Amino acid sequence: MPARRDPYQAPAVRAYAATLKAMRKTAKLSQHGLAEVLGYTSQFVSQVEGCKNLPSRKFSEDLDTYFQADELFVGLWEVIDDTLDTTALPPGFNDFTEREAEASALYIFAAMVIHGLHQTPEYAYEVLKAGRTGEEVQNLVSKRMDRQQLLTRDDPPQIVAVFDEGVIRRVVGTREIIKDQLARLIEIAEMPNVTFHLVSSEKGSYAGLPGAFTILRFNDAPDMVYTEGHIGGNLTDHVATVWGHTVRFDLIRGAAMPADESLELLRSTWENL
For the segment 45-69, the average pLDDT, to the nearest whole number, is: 94
Asked whether the predicted pLDDT for residue 175 surpasses 80, the reply is: yes
pLDDT score, position 167: 96
For the segment 230-238, the average pLDDT, to the nearest whole number, is: 83
pLDDT score, position 140: 83
pLDDT score, position 92: 64
For the segment 203-220, the average pLDDT, to the nearest whole number, is: 96
Pick the CATH number of 11-86 from 3.40.50.1100, 3.40.50.620, 3.30.830.10, 1.10.260.40: 1.10.260.40
Pick the CATH number of 90-271 from 2.60.40, 3.40.50, 3.30.870, 3.30.450: 3.30.870
- CA proximity to 162, closest of 268, 272, 263, 264: 263
Q: What is the pLDDT of residues 253-265, one digit of tens each?
A: 999 999 999 999 9
Q: Average pLDDT of the chain?
A: 92
Radius of gyration, alpha carbons of the chain = 23
Q: What is the pLDDT of residues 85-137, one digit of tens each?
A: 555 566 667 788 889 999 999 999 999 999 999 999 999 999 988 877 787 78
Whether 90-271 and 11-86 are alike in CATH topology: the answer is: no
The three state secondary structure string of 17-42 is: HHHHHHHHHHCCCCHHHHHHHHCCCH
pLDDT score, position 162: 98
For the segment 57-69, the average pLDDT, to the nearest whole number, is: 96
Domain spans in the chain, listed from the N-terminal domain onward: 11-86, 90-271
For residue 162, the one-letter residue type is V
Torsions phi, psi for 173 (to 5 deg): 85, -115
Q: What is the DSSP string of the chain?
A: -PPPSSPP--HHHHHHHHHHHHHHHHTT--HHHHHHHHTS-HHHHHHHHTTSSPPPHHHHHHHHHHHT-TTHHHHHHHHHHHTHHHHTSPTTHHHHHHHHTT-SEEEEEESSS--GGG--HHHHHHHH-TTS-HHHHHHHHHHHHHHGGGGTSSSPPEEEEEEEHHHHHS--S-HHHHHHHHHHHHHHHTSTTEEEEEE-GGG-S-TTTT--EEEEE-SSS--EEEEE-SS-EEEE--HHHHHHHHHHHHHHHHHSPPHHHHHHHHHHHHHT-
Please, what's the b/e burial string for 184-207 (b: 16 or more CB within 10 A of its CB; e: otherwise)?
A: bbeebbeeeebbbbbbeeeeeeeb
